Amino acid sequence: MAVGKETPEEAVVVEIFKPRNDTRTYRRIILPNSLQVLLISDPDTDKCAASMNVGVGSFSDPEGLEGLAHFLEHMLFYASEKYPLEDSYSTYISEHGGRTNAYTSSEHTNYYFDVNADCFEEALDRFAQFFIKPLMSADATTREIKAVDSENQKNLLADAWRINQLQKHLSAEGHPYHKFSTGNWDTLEVKPKARGVDTRDELLKFYKENYSANLMNLVVYSKENLDKIESSVLSKFQEIRNINRDHLRFPGQPCSSEHLQVIVKTVPIKTGHKLRITWPVTPGIHHYMEGPSRYLGHLIGHEGEGSLFYILKKLGWANSLSAGESDWTMDFSFFKVVIDLSDAGHANVKHIIGLLFKYILLLQQSGVCKWIFDELSAICEMTFHYQDKIPPIDYVVKCSSNMQLYPLKDWLVGSSLPSNFAPGIIQSMLNELTPNSVRIFWESTNFEGHTDLTEPWYGTAYSVEKISSSIIQEWMDKAPEEHLHLPSPNVFIPTDLSIKNVQVKVNLPVMLRKSLYSRLWYKPDTTFSTPKAYVKLDFYCPFGGNSPEANVLTDISIRLLMDYLNEYTYDAQVAGLYYAISHTDNGFQVTLTGYSHKLRILLETVIKKITTFEVKPDRFYVIKELVTKQYENFRFQQPYQQAMYYCSLLLKDQSWPWNDELEVLSVLEPEDLLKFYPQILSRTFIECYAAGNIESNEAELMIQHVENEFFKGSNPVSQALFPSQHLANRIVNLKKGVNYCYTKEGLNRSDDNSALLHYIQVHQDDFKLNIKLQLVALIAKQPAFHQLRSVEQLGYITVLMQRNDSGIRGVQFIIQSTVKGPKHIESRVQAFLQMFESKLYDMPDDEYKSNVNALIEMKLEKHKNLREESGYFWREIQDGTLKFDRKEYEVAALKQLTKAELIQFFDEYIKAGAPLKKALSVQVYAHAHSTENTPDCNMVNIEDVFSFRRSRPLYGSFKGGIGHVKL
């Protein structure tokens, strides 16, 4: 039960349905200006947050000003009448441990932030001014159009953006779904100017006509009690204008008959083939308690035996399949099935479409099954009531979005709890999935040169063919005779959700067990009281990554293991028990997380599959093809991602270049893996972490079982490591006083973006140096963004962030730009560091203390859920640092740190020309900026990655062996 308020004066009791384990309190109020607000009180929170959902989006863009709503979203961050200093809102949030962002969708725009609790009042006041009296100066307007254009440039070669716009393009021109929503320099500057239209005038007009309090929903999440939050919200937000704007509706379907019954062949950027089959359907939001799209998505997207994906995989035609509702509003929606195809699948697309329609026919003929709905409903209910607490910033965005769509009682639930079994409603949506209304988008690089049309915004090549229902019937008739059937009952749904009795209350992981073969760290749940557990096993296999061949073969074997297990484990994942086998630099990791009741059953199955692994040639070739495409598509990564890859390659000992691995991959056969797999496992050490709703003896029994499977018995698959094999994770130690430079042309010549990664390596993990580095990064983060992004407009992606490579700490600037090459960007980073020098030197004592306090609060922030806590402790285990109580020591060091010591640290390690500075500039240049590619005489140019790596000493590894002797 939550107390809601219809008006500030009159309280009304309103029930907001919430999870059983949710101790937060809620209240709905409506301000005199008709702003609807959800107040959330959480005395346990470290971060406070707010989200404003405005009921207007890109569908409302004026004709000829595509992207105006999105552009307005950017502009509101700049300044307001009350806080006129440019970027002061973002600066305040950043300096007080917070984050802020926004997004524009078709029918709403959402603004949100979080911040340390003691600074929330002022942050909320600054936020409120977005919607009261923002300043949108002419100068800022012109600059921020460049940022919108840079954001669009980043997306031009991204297949997800391209296919999304193509689907919109092939719709009715009179419907807003057809529009280009993000905007660019052309739509917001060039074309309006040519027509004599002033974009800033239009911006102000759009804001004035659309940003009305009655179209807004606010969520405020605070430590304070509900009365205090209400008083604060009333004082800060009641000045928002209310012009009683009607909620905009966009009735009608975006697709007329000419856009249905079509097969669209399109050429993606990345190598591969994908099939997207969509139907316009009645929006499921109107029947969210009956959950028709959830029911159909569950069955069509199922991966267990007898499912569509199971059959396609067995035939070697598909690598993945997903199904569900997407692109929906209150007025229209699409049901979408997306299939990632193998080469063989691409050659059999007609059969695949035939099988999909056969499965839909099976669902129609089977009728809607009550037991399937009940099972799904039970899983949804369990998921809702035992949901993990998430960061407040994510929670407020979710709630404010729900406020626009659902009645008050379901603001926290949304559509996540289907409970009304209504077979007629499900059958009705199922009947909409017909050949008469289908849209088929078929992506393949094989279509290059075989298309005749071009989408105008992204330049995507495509062609359109009409396709009749009789042709689809023919494909159904000719499809392979496979036994498609409905899933069996899910055996993984937990029935025991009790909380285990923890014998020893410990706040930090303890080592429960150590042997020649493994080491077990244990951390029972003393905080979250959920029936969930987290188990990670890191198999350190020296032969699993000691050459390009070993790396590729280990990768393929892990993918094959996941592939073999998929039908069995899919039900576990549906029931909230997740697992993954992931490739590491030195072997692989097995991770299990979710409800603890049946976790051990899943773990034992996974371990058995690893120890009895066999190579199935048909699946080997499918996985090899998939991996090959992923390597080939490396060249289509964004330039900043390429720069990050080169930086890791330069710094990490025993890392292999992607092109070496691609070369190896091309000649591999099943026999190679058959011979190699036993070698991967022949020597291994298992680092284990068990946390959550697990008793210590259970954890020990789990690991004992794993040891028995690997190392015991008449024919063990593994032996213990020799002491000489334990060393791992070594990082190159850059030379003091040297600026290194590594320059490469971007791998995709069609990409006009260049990128710079400027990395400053500082030290190996040390409490005092850590906090100095972190404090400099915190203080510099927002000024760097303001100068390099807002003022100089170098590019949309402009980031200053810390870097941690196996305990080796540093800081890095990452900037991507179409307007300037990396040499120029490098010079601007150096100029910024000189500018920042004076900011640091002249910083008032109260501002310094404020930053120190912000960092302390960030460090003391409590973990929200078991997964977050486990990830934090696992990092210590993985790096070998084992400083589980790091926060306390670093906070103590921060409290002692003086401004003079911070400046001394900056002068020695960070500032331009600092004597101890170790810098690496990784420069990826676009073809258009190739004239800039001349050696810099102030830098040591790295010609060859591996000669460089061999020439430099390595930092000692924290993982010095079972006894963990630091080298």
Each residue's pLDDT tens digit, 221-270:
999 999 999 999 999 999 999 999 998 889 999 999 999 999 999 999 99
When pLDDT is cut at 50, 70 and 90, the band that residue 11 belongs to is very low
Cβ-based neighbour number of residue 661 at 10 Å: 18
| pTM more than 0.85 | yes
pLDDT digit string, tens, across residues 919-944: 999 999 998 888 776 767 789 999 99
Q: Which residues pair with 353 in a beta bridge?
A: none
pLDDT given at position 967: 27
Do both 291 and 422 map to the same domain?
yes
pLDDT of res. 78? 93
Quick one: CA torsion of 340, 344, 348, 354, rounded to 10 degrees? Answer: -50
Q: Which two tokens stand for residue 344?
A: 């063989």
As given in the structure block, the two tokens for residue 853 are 């306090």
The helix (H) or strand (E) run that includes residue 955 is none
Residue 560 lies in a domain: yes
One domain, residues 686 and 572: yes
What is the reported pLDDT for 133?
Answer: 97
Residue 743's identity, in one-letter code, is: T
What does the block give as tokens for 582?
């992931």
Q: Does some domain include residue 880?
A: yes
Half-sphere exposure of 853 (CA within 13 A, CB side): 12
Distance of CA 439 to the CA centre of its chain: 29
Q: Is 765 part of any domain?
A: yes
Token pair in block for residue 897: 């740190």
Q: Is residue 202 part of a domain?
A: yes
Residue among 272, 261, 265, 320 nearest 442 (CA): 265
- Cβ proximity of 37 and 28 under 8 Å: yes
Expressed as residue numbers, the domain containing 293 is 257-389+402-478
Tokens for 747, please give them.
């791998």
pLDDT of the residue at 573? 97
The answer on 524 and 467 residing in a single domain is no
CB atoms near residue 84 (< 10 Å): 12
Q: How many angstroms separate the CA atoms of 890 and 857, rounded? A: 12
Quick one: the chain helix, strand, coil %, rounded to 5?
A: 45, 20, 35
Do 521 and 640 fall into the same domain?
yes
- Extract the tokens encoding 844: 């008032």
Strand ordering across the sheet containing 918-925: 798-805, 808-817, 754-764, 918-925, 738-745, 940-941
In a domain, 7, yes or no: no
Alpha-carbon separation of residue 304 from 343, 485, 623, 848 (angstroms): 23, 10, 19, 58
Q: Indicate whether 694 and 579 sit together in one domain.
A: yes
Nearest to 236 by CA among 218, 223, 214: 218
Nearest to 191 by CA among 158, 149, 139, 147: 149
The pLDDT of 66-78, averaged and rounded, is: 97
Instruction: State the DSSP H helix or E strand holding residue 316, giving kind and residue range, or none if neither.
Output: none
Question: Which tens digit of pLDDT belongs to each residue from 478-518?
Answer: 999 999 999 999 999 999 999 998 877 789 999 999 999 99
Return the structure tokens found at 197. Answer: 């239209």
CA distance 178 to 513: 61
Where does a domain end: 686, 720, 754? Answer: 720
Burial 820-843 (b: 16+ CB within 10 A, else e): bbbbebbebbbebbeebbeebeeb
Distance in angstroms (rounded) separating the CA atoms of residues 905 and 896: 15
Helix (H, G, I), strand (E, B) or coil at 851: helix
Residue 708 has pLDDT above 90, yes or no: yes
- List the one residue out of 199, 219, 670 whose CA is nearest residue 403: 219
Q: Which residues contact 908 (CB under 8 A, 6 or more apart)?
A: 914, 915, 916, 917
660/798 same-domain check:
no
The answer as to whether 306 is a domain residue is: yes
Q: Residues of the chain with pLDDT > 70: what percent?
A: 97
pLDDT surpasses 80 at 438: yes
Whether residues 188 and 233 fall in one domain: yes
| pLDDT on residue 501 | 86
- Average pLDDT on 550-575 reads 97
Contact of 382 with 21, CB cutoff 8 Å:
no
Secondary element (H or E) of residue 199 = helix 199-210
In 33-98, the DSSP E strands lie at: 36-41, 47-54, 79-80
Count of beta carbons in the 10 Å neighbourhood of residue 23: 11
CA distance 353 to 340: 13
pLDDT digits (tens, 9 = 90+) for 805-819: 999 999 999 999 999
Count up the domains in the chain and report the number: 4
Which of 720, 745, 777 finishes a domain?
720
> Which pLDDT value is given to residue 933?
67
Give me the pLDDT at residue 965, please.
35
| Active-site annotation, residues | 73, 144
Answer yes or no: is pLDDT of 8 > 70. Answer: no
Please give the helix or strand (H or E) that residue 396 lies within, else none: helix 392-403
Which class for 371: exposed (0-12), middle (13-18), buried (19 or more C-beta within 10 A)? exposed
**The residue type at 476:** M
DSSP letter at 747?
S
| Reported confidence tier of residue 710, pLDDT bands at 50, 70, 90 | very high
CA-closest candidate to residue 928, choices 745, 757, 797, 758: 745
Average pLDDT, integer, range 441-462: 98
Q: Residue 845: which residues within 8 A CB-CB, separation 6 or more?
A: 899
The angle subtended at Cα 485 by Cα 483 and Cα 487, nearest 5°, is: 135
Band (pLDDT 50/70/90 cuts) for residue 13 is: low
Phi, psi of 950 (to 5 degrees): -70, -25
Is the predicted pLDDT of residue 75 greater than 50, yes or no?
yes
Distance CA 37, CA 14 (A): 14
Pairing of strands 439-444, 262-266: parallel
Element (H, E) at 204: helix 199-210
**Integer-rounded Cα radius of gyration of the chain:** 29
Name the nearest CA neighbour of 434 among 524, 531, 357: 357
> In terms of DSSP bridges, do strands 918-925 and 738-745 run parallel, antiparallel, or are they unpaired?
parallel
Question: Does a structural domain hold residue 503?
Answer: no
Say how far apart CA 880 and CA 965 lie, in whole Å: 10
| pLDDT at res. 576 | 97
SS3 451: coil
Residue range 611-617: average pLDDT? 97
Contact 764, 729 (CB under 8 A): no
Q: Are residues 215 and 351 in the same domain?
A: no
Across the range 904-922, mean pLDDT stands at 95
Q: How far is CA 735 from CA 761, 905, 949, in A?
A: 10, 17, 12
Q: What value does the mean pLDDT take over residues 100-106?
A: 97
DSSP 867-934: HHHHHHHHHHHHHT---TTHHHHHHHHHHH--HHHHHHHHHHHTSTT-TT-EEEEEEEE-GGGGGG--
| 188 DSSP assignment | I
- Looking up tokens 């689809």 gives 472
- Summarised one tens digit per residue, pLDDT across range 158-216 is 999 999 999 999 999 999 999 999 999 999 999 999 999 999 999 999 999 999 999 99
- Asked whether residue 69 falls in the same domain as residue 170, the answer is yes
**Maximum Cα–Cα distance for the chain, whole Å?**
85
Q: 650 and 746 share a domain? A: no
Q: What is the pLDDT of residue 729?
A: 80
Q: How far is CA 535 from CA 240, 515, 718, in A?
A: 49, 18, 21
Please report, rounded to a whole number, the percentage of residues in the chain having pLDDT higher than 90: 93
Q: 518: which strand partners?
A: 686
Q: Order of strands across the sheet with 453-454?
A: 318-326, 333-341, 273-281, 439-444, 262-266, 461-466, 453-454
| C-alpha–C-alpha distance, residues 127 and 433, integer Å | 45
Q: Per the domain annotation, does 745 fall within a domain?
A: yes
Same structural domain for residues 191 and 73? yes
- Contact, 126 vs 76, CB < 8 A? no
- Across all residues in the chain, what is the average pLDDT? 95
Per-residue pLDDT, averaged over 890-902, amounts to 97
CATH of the domain at 221: 3.30.830.10
Q: Where are the alpha helices (DSSP H) in 238-348?
A: 292-300, 308-314, 343-347
SS3 category, 599: helix
Please tell me the predicted confidence (pLDDT) of residue 14.
63
At 665, give phi and psi (nearest 5°).
-60, -40
pLDDT band at 362; cut points 50, 70, 90? very high
Query: Residue 660 — very low, low, confident or very high, per pLDDT cuts 50/70/90?
Result: very high
Based on the fold, state whether residues 358 and 461 are members of the same structural domain: yes
Alpha helices in 61-137 (DSSP H): 68-75, 88-95, 120-128
Mapped onto helix, strand or coil, the DSSP state of residue 809 is strand
Given this model, what pLDDT does residue 963 score?
40
